[in-house]
Structure formats: structure tokens, C-alpha cells
Amino acid sequence: MQLSSLKEYLDKHNIKYVAISHSPAYTAQGIAALTHIPGKELAKTVIIKLDGKLVMAVLPALFHVDIGLFKQATKAKSVELASENEFKDRFPECETGAMPPFGNLYGIDVFADESLAKDREIAFNAGSHRELIRLGWGDFERLVKPKMISFVARRTAAEAA
């Protein structure tokens, strides 16, 4: 989704947001550092195959998806990370890996980690590796209606340092 399309969608729903342009960055941690947004407020989108169906997992940039927790929380038979080849055609207006967490616009279920709801705002890729959108968590939740579960891998003390 191009930034203009995402902005139109948000404007149509009277959502207040900030668009942030930055130099190209390809990892959530890199984007967080570059834009000075705390990693817990920067949401990254991971595409998962849940019983063979593509779904979005949205979580803070600081963490990774714990496949075992995701499987347990969703009661799925099989859970695995999707390869880029398996999902790149689902997001034709987006750079690969930079899709916004609006699965509702792509016919894809969205699962958000419960920890995201602790922050008033979240920021996320807006379809490219050069643009973010920052908006209120409540607005995101109202538009996307993600299924809230706990599925992040907790960092070790060594990783946190």
C-alpha cells in the first residue's frame, strides 16, 4: 500500500496520524534507531502461515514471534513463518517486508501481541522502507480489530543490554 493510499484510508475514517519520512532502513530495530521511536512503540508486521493460511502477526520491534506461543494461543495445528515468496504478491503496492499492519485491507487476519496495547501510540511501516505512520493504539484497534494474544519471545538479559 502506498503511503498516499494508507493516508486516504486513515483520512476517510477521521484518524489523526503523523507520517514520518526517513532514509531507507530495512529492519525494525534500524528504523527505531533512525527515527528515535522506542522499539516497544514501533510495531513490526510478520507474516505467518497458520494452518496453511497467511495471517499477520503484529508485535513490538524489540521482540520476535515465539512460534510455540503463537501456536498455543491460536490453537492451530501448524504455525510457521511465511517466506517472502509466499506473501509478496498479496501486497502489490508495498515494498517486500514493509507492509502496514492493516490486514483488513488485504483480506488477512491480524493477530497483535497484547503488549502493544500498553502504549498510547504505535508507529509502523507505511508500505515502504522510507516511511512510517504513527497513530493512536485505540484508532488502530478500532480500524483493524486485531485478535489480541500473547506471542512474543522475551529477550534475555544479554539481548537487553
* pLDDT tops 50 at residue 157: no
pLDDT recorded at residue 3: 59
Cβ proximity of 1 and 127 under 8 Å: yes
Q: pLDDT-derived band of residue 25, with 50, 70 and 90 as boundaries?
A: confident
- What CATH number has the domain bearing residue 88? 3.90.960.10
Domain that holds residue 147: 3-153
Residue 28 lies in a domain: yes
Buried b (16+ CB within 10 A) or exposed e, 68-100: ebbbebbebeebeebeeeebbeebeebbebbbb
Residue 16 lies in a domain: yes
Per residue in 75-108, pLDDT tens? Answer: 999 999 999 999 988 998 898 889 999 999 999 9
Residue 161 lies in a domain: no
78 Cβ partners below 8 Å, 6+ apart? 49, 50, 51, 52, 71
Q: Report how many domains make up the chain.
A: 1
